[in-house]
Chains A and B, each alone.
Chain A
């Protein structure tokens, strides 16, 4: 190991911490009933849950991009009174227990909720629908995208945008040709992270959307339910989610180096040659 300047006890504690994270995953893998693994994860209910999870998480990630990119741009490129407060509020779902988010959504879009009663009068019922699942997921996933994108926008700075503007580019052109390409890797990793968060959503979905096979019972809810009667199925499905999580983390980490090789401009400010 290089960098041996650290005290040994720091390394020792770090190893213990690493084991604390890795050991439970290993224990999970050890409990898998391998001969039954394929039948367990391809059962009708498991497939329905997996498909629903993928569908809703992708939709939620898309929604996060649609509203999250403008939010990040406004937070990073404008200054207004109360901006810090707004940022804190937007990031709140990140630290809020998801079940609290679910209750909040219920009291907003539920049948007797703030907006829900008007929606209900219009014939729109959100609770118990797949829409409710997507909303729960987008609610908890949005801060991931806004946070990673806003940070990238701030560290990228406004120099190139200013140059573009002096060369006669309009606001939309600057945004499209300079700002967004600059932060593309962060946008991609933000999308991947918000997708992952949406995939793992449990508390808000359970509270707000309910649980019905093919409609609202996503993979985490299926795991929770299977655990009641068939712990082996719950373990097998859990392992699928662990696999997806590992893939997601891998992608999110890979995105930046790939982006750098493709576009020299978008290296983080810290790596940029100060002379150039």
Chain B
């Protein structure tokens, strides 16, 4: 399965700046990785594979990057980190990989596909999300474990589920979830629709959901921080632009945009 919504530049409509920019390069045809580049010029077309939780900040960062480097064209592909890692190891053309956990980036590294070292660029922590109005009156992780409370979590097999298990252990709470979803966005969806009374999601998911959910910070989550690594990929046809994008995410602009989305500094 291949996810490529990014070509549409989904959130390009969000900021007026971006709209102007999009109008500016409307005539440009993405290079699609035709010619091998060896120079240092940052003006090529790159494809960035990024974890789904990075959708909001990376869409913004890609637009800013294109603005700062005329001629550069960033195509974003968002999906679950393990999907992206599998696609990269199966030969999908990507220039940069930003993963929501170190495990999946390690898989790509083990396959010998990294151009350099992976760098940690953001952190995320879990929070309890409850539907607006908090119908079940949840205020702690223990409340979410009460009988009759419908709590939804990520399955152990996915990164957010592994962190959930750590948080449960730290809080000495044993949740009996009504559903173990395969992605954090599915957990959030069950909370937003009001089907679930509570769900364990990332702080950034609560921030992105706006008024639809209420976030309840978990003191126990502080010890189970998810780290996001980023790396340029070895098979890139434009290593200069790929590395420049990585540096941009690690730089001041990247920090500011990620911080605004709720991500912590590593």
CB within 8 Å of B: which residues of A? Answer: 106, 110-112, 127-128, 206-207, 209-213, 216-217, 221, 224-231
Contacts and interface: CB of A to CB of B under 8 A. Distances in A.
Contact of B193 (A110, A213, A221, A229): A110
Q: Which 10 pairs of residues, A with B, have the shortest CB-CB distance?
A: A210-B179, A128-B178, A228-B157, A112-B194, A229-B157, A127-B195, A225-B182, A228-B82, A212-B179, A228-B158
Interface of B: 80, 82, 86, 150, 152, 155, 157-158, 177-182, 186, 189-190, 193-195
Nearest to B103: A229
A224 B193 contact: no
25 contacts: A106-B195, A110-B194, A111-B194, A111-B195, A112-B195, A127-B195, A128-B150, A128-B195, A206-B182, A206-B186, A209-B179, A210-B190, A210-B195, A211-B179, A211-B180, A211-B182, A212-B178, A212-B180, A221-B182, A227-B86, A228-B157, A228-B182, A229-B82, A230-B157, A231-B86
A111 B195 CA distance: 6
A128 B194 contact: no
Contacts of B82: 227-229
B215 to A, nearest CB: 20
Contact of B155 (A111, A128, A225, A230): A225
Contacts of A228: 80, 82, 155, 157-158, 182
Given A128-B150, A225-B155, A228-B82, A210 B178 contact: yes
A112 B193 contact: yes
Nearest to A221: B182
A210 B193 CA distance: 13
A211 B194 contact: no
A218 to B, nearest CB: 13
A209 B193 CA distance: 13
Nearest to B187: A210
Nearest to B161: A228
Nearest to A213: B180
A57 B25 CA distance: 51
Contacts of A110: 193-195
Contact of A210 (B80, B152, B158, B194): B152
